[in-house]
Amino acid sequence: MEKGSSLFRPSDYVKITIFGFALTALWQSLHTIILPLRILDFVPESQKNTSLSLLTLSGLLLAMFVQPLAGAVSDRSDFKWGRRKPYMVLGAFLAIVLIPGFGYAGGYAAVFLVYCLLQLSVNIAQGPYQAFIPELVPADKRGRASGVKGLLEITGGLSLVYVSSIFMDRYNAGMGGNNLWIVLGILMALVFITMAATVLLVREPRVAPTAQRTPLMETIYCTFRKEIWSNRGFGWFLLSRLLVFMAFTTIQQFALYYFKDVIGVSDPAGATFRFAVIAVVAMLAVVWPAGYLSDRIGRRLFTAVAGLLGAVGIAVIALLQDYNSVLWAAGIIGASMGMFNSSNWALATDFAPEGEEARYLGVANMATAGGAVLARVIGPGIDFFNARNPLSGYNFMLMMCLTYFIVGAALVWKVKRPAQPNQGMARSNTEPR
């Protein structure tokens, strides 16, 4: 594939984003189903929210820094078979080795260690992989590419949440540890297959032989240098993205406990899956059209509308708090997430200058990981309020999500980006569309 509007084919969108299918399948199944139930094997019921928060927060803090570092190192690489693919292979194989650790773990500390190491491994692969869209896709098609990326990520998340809910409900009911191993085996296979497909199908552009390579240690040292933060529009973009992802992640992370404690369902993993299915159907309906239209109408508009739509979904849950209403809210939140994923990521790619795509997108994704980290901080707050007034902690959680969505939507209007994508942030501070 070559970068150019006439040469970039529809199949190329899939080739450069298929790895995202496995990445989202991995994290969605772990965060939504596997980890919330697995840690119940090792921690008291009263400490489950705090323990889950501490576990995932620590791993995501590592991800925040590993991903842009790996991206920056790949930017200065010149392997014969690509700048990005060698790191994808390394990270994927490390992940495949680590995933069985969740089954072998004999205590909370072991789960904690495996999860942190998995975050390191996967982000070694993800940081470089993310550069494919700004590096290979014409500027006028990045919204569509981001839409396809979102579509594959959504279907990947849905497929494994479904599988996980079936087998992990059986595991939770005491029907055998083999149910956990089946899920872990499928995750390992997905990571390997999608990594191999990317390596075989994607043709990366060759780096000019005369291009000067920054020494490795200097690259690591300069990954977060001050120039990357000098554009105020980029700073507002990061803050807006962080807040919206705090809201999305909070709902995802604590949905199973919400169904179990507040709604009182007998199959919390199954209920969480049904919530996810409705959300995913809504996401699938909007993610590609939103990406396509963001190329024509503007990234900021769709990002702001997505945030406000998410706030509406949270309000429905908070005001009604019954099973059917929560499922309706799932559709609203799903549509919000679909719109946000495609339009906001397209906006992120517009900030990435040529030759530093992976570094800039790694820093941009610090807001994603940062939102996920800060979302976990609310876990002790949920347990704190629940201990004083049963279930009040979940009302606190919903109130905070509502705030995240509204403020995140408002801040996107302060975002300014370069007039021409891929030309560096320092050149212009003009209004984005």
pLDDT band of residue 427 (cuts 50, 70, 90) is very low
The answer to whether 273 touches 162, Cβ cutoff 8 Å, is yes
- Percent of the chain's residues with pLDDT above 90: 25
What kind and span of H or E run contains 140?
none
Q: So what's the pLDDT on residue 421?
A: 42
pLDDT band of residue 121 (cuts 50, 70, 90) is very high
Place of tokens 């807040």: 243
**Above 50 in pLDDT, residue 146?**
yes
At residue 25's C-alpha, the angle toward residues 52 and 332, to 5°, is 80
Write out the two tokens for 18: 């298929």
At residue 275's C-alpha, the angle toward residues 270 and 279, to 5°, is 145
Q: So what's the pLDDT on residue 424?
A: 39
pLDDT band of residue 7 (cuts 50, 70, 90) is low
Q: Write down the pTM of the prediction.
A: 0.70
- Percent of the chain's residues with pLDDT above 70: 87
Q: Ranked by mean pLDDT, which of 222-236, 301-315, 416-430 comes out on top?
A: 301-315
Q: What is the pLDDT of residues 246-275, one digit of tens each?
A: 998 888 778 888 888 888 887 787 788 788
**Above 90 in pLDDT, residue 338?**
no
Q: So what's the pLDDT on residue 214?
A: 58
Start-to-end CA distance of the chain, whole Å, equals: 28
Rg, Å, the chain Cα set: 21
| Topology classification of domain 10-204+215-427 | Growth Hormone; Chain: A; (1.20.1250)
The answer to whether 224 touches 68, Cβ cutoff 8 Å, is yes
**Above 60 in pLDDT, residue 215?**
no
Q: What is the pLDDT of residues 14-38, one digit of tens each?
A: 888 899 999 999 998 998 889 988 9
Q: So what's the pLDDT on residue 205?
A: 75
| 425 or 180, which is more confident | 180
Residues present in the chain in total: 433
CA neighbours closer than 13 Å in the CB half-sphere of residue 396: 18
Q: So what's the pLDDT on residue 8?
A: 66
What residue ranges do the domains of the chain occupy?
Answer: 10-204+215-427
Q: CA–CA separation, 51 vs 200, rounded Å?
A: 40
